A and B are shown apart, each in its own frame.
Chain A
Amino acid sequence: MTPPLYIALRFLSHRKRALLLSLSGVVFGVAFFICMQAQTQGFAKYFIDSTLGSNGALIIRSRFEPRQIGSLVPSKTSKANVAHRQYFEGITNANEIMRVSRQFSNVVSCSPILRGTLSARSGFENATVDLYGIEPALHLQTTDLAHQLIDGDVNDFRNKPNSVIVGSRLAETLNVEVGDTVQLLSPGGQYRRFAVAAIARSGVGSIDSTRMYCHARVAQTLLHKPYAASMIIYKLRDPDRAPALAQYFESLFQHDAASWQEREASTLHLFLTLRLSAAITVSLVILLAGFGIFNVLTMTVLSKMKEIAILRSMGYRRRDISAIFLWQGGMIAAAGSLIGCIAGALLSWGVSKIPIRLRGLLSTDYFVVAWDWRHYVWAILLAMISVFIASYVPARRAAELLPVTTLRGSSL
């Protein structure tokens, strides 16, 4: 143990109240930071997982052709290219696109969907339905639909062509349960009856309140569409690489392709803003802890001026004196970060057990928290930086004290 560390330890252990004050500031700051990040990222991650689990990481939609305009030289910017496209509804040759797509290492699976909007009726209740005609086997491979079922059996849906899976909030609107019947109004004006095989809850409000799944062939008949798929959704190994793959698929298949990041950009920005706002707010707590440590160490320097002078007279260098105070800050930061991380984890766990019935943008019965090691690293980093700055000034001041000034003053 170096002499400055030895002396720093002793100074700290003999000022228990000041130590406790400094330590508690860092502990609270770190714990709150971790807990806030766990919550805000928890809800964001829940939204992302839910949206990926329902809509896939990437979607291919309408076919397009470049629109012929006067200029012979194509524009270099993609935005300009998009403006010069002519879109055609539906996917042309979905099976061939899916066959080629599966060759890509990032693609886990894909599923064609025939999508349309219909009116649904059950008893006296009516609702507008976002109908997804799916191939059950492919869709269950590509999405989390099987895990989203809160009632009913996916095999009932799989085995009965005239059955549907209904979004949980849509089921509440239509007042239907598993085994009930809903009527869907086709564009020709005819109602067709379907049995409710299961009820699904994705956790995303906009999906749960409008979506209904039926078999693709039934949907084609019901919607009178000339094509078998209006979109293809993809499950990817690395969803973060979806934007690059979407861009590539667009040029390869000449179909509009959108990554989940592009689709959900506004909601993701909202979550990011909330996370940053929470991080800034809680960082202020850590900053306040830094001020506390600054005050405590400054007071220590003032109360230890004679001891600093005697240490200097005994051959301790300026940097040794400085190190005594930096070590004190370092030990407070280390202990505070460690205890703060444990407290933050316990706090996050406790928060995740708080019942809350959210039925808005997200549907959840408990607070959602994310367990991410990076929250802990950031919290420790912030605490270390804050404490270092708070310790540096008093440490420097202590090192610059002239021993002779103190000694002269005390001998007067």
Chain B
Amino acid sequence: MKPDAFLSCQDIERYLGEDESRVHALRGVSLDVEPGSVHAVVGPSGCGKSTLLYILGLLDHPDGGSVMLESEAVSHLPDDELARRRNEFIGFIFQFHFLMEDFTAQENVMIPMRQLGQLPETAMRDRAAELLESVGLSDKLQRASRHLSGGEQQRVAIARALANDPRVVLADEPTGNLDTKNSQRAFELLKSIVQQNQMALLLVTHNPAIAEACDWIHEMKDGRIVLTHSRR
């Protein structure tokens, strides 16, 4: 484990399902995510990529091994404390955007900030507007999220993941639902923001072009990282 890693995991074991359908999803996975680095996790469907992402994002508990956030073991923490850490340190982006459909683009970006509770209403509005401007949506702040295109929704999701200035962004196939042009655009945007702000990005992807553009590629097979190579 690297001492300067934001987020790392050591010997992660995870079983999914019960009885006859029980699957050994992760088998001793270890990984370090350092500031300013961009990681891609690739591999065939069902190899455990998303499961690893959820465990690293403190959404799921490992059956063995440990997850460390800024060198502090966090897997054993109570649910409320894990939620606080997610809110403060981790930003999530999912394949299907998962915007809150009853809210505007700006309000969606403000939702994590409201939970953090560090900024007053006007400051939250300003920051959300800034973030949406940085993803090229300054003219669609008040647009209801359901009235945005797929690419626009994904850009709102990126802005929302960055709302609380997290240390690490975890993305589960963030461009999987976009066309090639939009995929590339969304990824470049995300990568540049992450690198500018010295955050870290770990994304699960099936897109070889995106994986090739990352600093590190972790190839997974049958619940194991079988190969890690640097593109730096």
The size bracket of the interface on B is 20 to 34
Which residues on the A side are within 8 Å of B84 (C-beta)? 315, 317
A315 with B172: CB separation less than 8 A: no
CB distance from B88 to the nearest CB of A (A): 7
Within A315-348, which residues are at the interface with B (CB < 8 Å)?
Answer: 315-320
Expressed in whole angstroms, the Cα–Cα distance for A93 and B147 within the complex equals 93
Which residues on the B side are within 8 Å of A411 (C-beta)? 50, 94-96, 172-173
Expressed in whole angstroms, the Cα–Cα distance for A410 and B97 within the complex equals 11
A315 with B102: CB separation less than 8 A: no
1/0 per residue, CB under 8 A from A, across B40-62: the answer is 00000000001000100101100
Expressed in whole angstroms, the Cα–Cα distance for A10 and B104 within the complex equals 11
Which single residue of chain A is at the shortest CB-CB distance from B102? A14
B98 with A408: CB separation less than 8 A: no
Interface hub of A313, A404, A411 (most chain B Cβ within 10 A): A313
Which single residue of chain B is at the shortest CB-CB distance from A410? B96
Stretch at the interface among A116-124, A177-185, A282-290, A302-310: A302-310
Number of interface residues of A (CB under 8 A): 27
Which single residue of chain A is at the shortest CB-CB distance from B80? A317
B112 adjacent to chain A (CB < 8 Å): yes
B87 adjacent to chain A (CB < 8 Å): yes
Which residues on the B side are within 8 Å of A407 (C-beta)? 50, 54, 59, 94, 172
A310 with B94: CB separation less than 8 A: yes
Partner of A307, one of B57, B95, B100, B114: B100
Expressed in whole angstroms, the Cα–Cα distance for A10 and B110 within the complex equals 14
CB distance from B84 to the nearest CB of A (A): 6
B86 adjacent to chain A (CB < 8 Å): yes
Q: Would you mind naming 13 contact pairs between A and B with Cβ atoms under 8 Å apart?
A: A3-B115, A306-B96, A310-B94, A314-B87, A315-B85, A315-B88, A318-B83, A403-B59, A407-B50, A408-B50, A410-B96, A411-B95, A411-B173
Chain B residues packing against A (C-beta within 8 Å):
50, 54, 57, 59-60, 79-80, 83-88, 92, 94-96, 98-103, 107, 111-112, 114-117, 160, 164, 172-173
Chain A residues packing against B (C-beta within 8 Å):
3, 6-7, 10-11, 13-14, 306-307, 309-320, 403-404, 407-408, 410-411
